Structure 1
Amino acid sequence: MKINRCIAPLMISVILSVAGCSSSSKEDQVMNANLGAQALYDKARESMANGNFAAAADSLSALDSRFPFGPLSHQVQLDLVYSYYKSGKIDQTLATIDRFIRLNPNHADVDYAFYMRGLTNMEADNNLFQELVGIDTTDRDPSKSKQAFDDFRRLIQQYPDSKYAADARQRMVFIKNRLASYEISIARFYMRREAFIAAANRGRYVLEYYPDSDQLQQALEIMVECYDQLELTELRDNAMKTLKLNFPDSQFIS
């Protein structure tokens, strides 16, 4: 098979680059193996300061494996959590957080671990590509958002005076609106298919579980429309009454 002469140099460059990265990674592993605990930690902190969190994670992981009970062990695990998070390694971040919480339930920084767990689950729920191209993401599976909400709620309940509590509360508001938007998206899906009972139930769910979300008006309007389609007069009138009371400018109010 002939290779285009213009493409061949590029292929060679890529191959050499990959080989160089592999060689560099092996060299780092050998270097880490020969460093003591403090020197290895200093190297990791330097990498973090330079924004090279992947390299920091490699050094911290090696340190955690070689010196699991050293004087630096707790801080190493917390720094490893942050380095994994900044490197976009969701699974490793959550595994490290869960191990830290399990082994150190009374540690002074366990609130930070819960906070980072919430952040990590929020990050897992984001899709940067979809956000960049402007695609609506409200109809995606919200399981990670629910887990993040539970993480922040646990932080606030167990550590109300934590310095992370205020930010956690703000993030819970955002997540609550996200979850309510998901329910509205599913309700409209059912309405397009004339599954009005299922749609009304989704609207009622928002009313019951997310009454302070920014989706309440849409939930009530969906309930009014669906109950009207189903000729459930009493339920429609009750939903309309609540809609008038809270959103008098709604187009559904005649």
Structure 2
Amino acid sequence: MPFRFTRPLAAALLVGIVFTLPACAGRGKHTRSDTQYVARDVATLYNLARQQLGQGNYAAAAAIFDEVERQHPYSIWARRAQLMSAFSYYAARDYTKSTESSRRFLSIHPGNRDAPYAYYLIALSYYEQITDVERDQTTSKQALDALGELVRRYPDTRYAADARLKIDLVRDHLAGKEMEVGRFYERRNQWLAAVTRFRAVIEEYQTTSHTPEALMRLTECYLALGVPEEARRSAAVLGANYPGTKWYQRAYELMQRHPGNAVTPAAAPAPTPAAAPATAPKPAG
């Protein structure tokens, strides 16, 4: 499943934070090095960081925002710089530092009005690191946990609305991983191991797009294990909930090829659209 980079959305949601900050005097031409080691007044540092951010120099902006906090820890700008640093690191794709900055902000300002955005940045930082289903999915689970925490804490925010969409995508991705492993075991005739994976999809990710195939694969595995009643049950659930899918067609044909295990005519898959009359009812499960 492709995971599109969502930095534009994060930037758009940051607008409300960025433009609530008053303008500061004291703009100067400085580099990252001379803000890193030379003391500057808070206005000069903050504006320089904003300038770097506006020019797309995200890593430099993050470093200068950090310097605002380091040089002026008791200033009101320190709190604002923490969140801007977290966003800048995120925009630079330094997700580890973005998460660290966001968590530091939350530990110091847990009740701040911008706390939902800090949680959102943490969730996005994990989300952007999700890899394909052939690799370890630890980060996917961390993303799911972080997105879920955001929704639980701030369910009525615009950040939570986006998080809910991403939760569905991550769950589908994790189900895809279970299917990948299950098919691996099935190809090697390790039926019990395969059953465990396919059942996990049905029980933990039943609303995802992988459930119909998981039910069909269970039908295959149960027949291979010599437990036709379980195979019949899986095929029946598949027919009741996904009667028009290719997975039910395959499960139905598979059961028909095993004497004594055939499903009842009522569970037969629907005919193809070309052969079916316009008023043909869907088959019962």
- Deviation larger for 62-71 or 185-194: 62-71
SS of the residue 2:63 aligns to: helix
Decide which structure has greater helix share: 1
Shift of 1:69: 2.2
Taking the aligned partners of 1:148 and 1:62, their CA distance within structure 2 comes to 29
Match of 1:65 in 2: 70
Match of 2:33 in 1: 29
Shift of 1:27: 5.5
Taking the aligned partners of 2:177 and 2:35, their CA distance within structure 1 comes to 49
Tell me: CA distance 1:51–1:119, structure 2 relative to 1, closer, same or farther (3 Å): same
Q: Matches of residues 1-254 of structure 1 in structure 2 within 5 Å?
A: 28-32=32-36, 33-126=38-131, 137-248=132-243, 249=245, 250=248, 251-254=250-253
Taking the aligned partners of 1:159 and 1:183, their CA distance within structure 2 comes to 30
CA-based RMSD of the aligned residues comes to 1.5
Shift of 1:31: 4.1
Shift of 1:102: 1.8
Match of 1:15 in 2: none
Taking the aligned partners of 1:237 and 1:252, their CA distance within structure 2 comes to 9
Kindly provide the CA deviation profile for residues 54-79 of structure 1, in whole angstroms up to 9, marking residues without a partner as x: 11012111112111221112211111
Taking the aligned partners of 1:123 and 1:69, their CA distance within structure 2 comes to 33
AA matched with 2:96: D
Kindly provide the CA deviation profile for residues 87-124 of structure 1, in whole angstroms up to 9, marking residues without a partner as x: 11122111112212222211111111111111000112
Q: Structure 2: give runs of 5+ residues left out of the alignment.
A: 1-29, 254-285
AA matched with 1:46: Q
- Deviation larger for 241-250 or 110-119: 241-250
State the identity as a percent.
Answer: 31
Taking the aligned partners of 1:93 and 1:55, their CA distance within structure 2 comes to 14
- Kept after mapping to 1: 8 A contact 2:49/2:61: yes
Taking the aligned partners of 2:59 and 2:196, their CA distance within structure 1 comes to 46
What TM-score do you get using the length of structure 2 for normalisation? Answer: 0.74
Taking the aligned partners of 2:124 and 2:74, their CA distance within structure 1 comes to 27
Shift of 1:41: 0.5
Q: Structure 1: give runs of 5+ residues left out of the alignment.
A: 1-25, 127-136
Taking the aligned partners of 1:151 and 1:114, their CA distance within structure 2 comes to 7
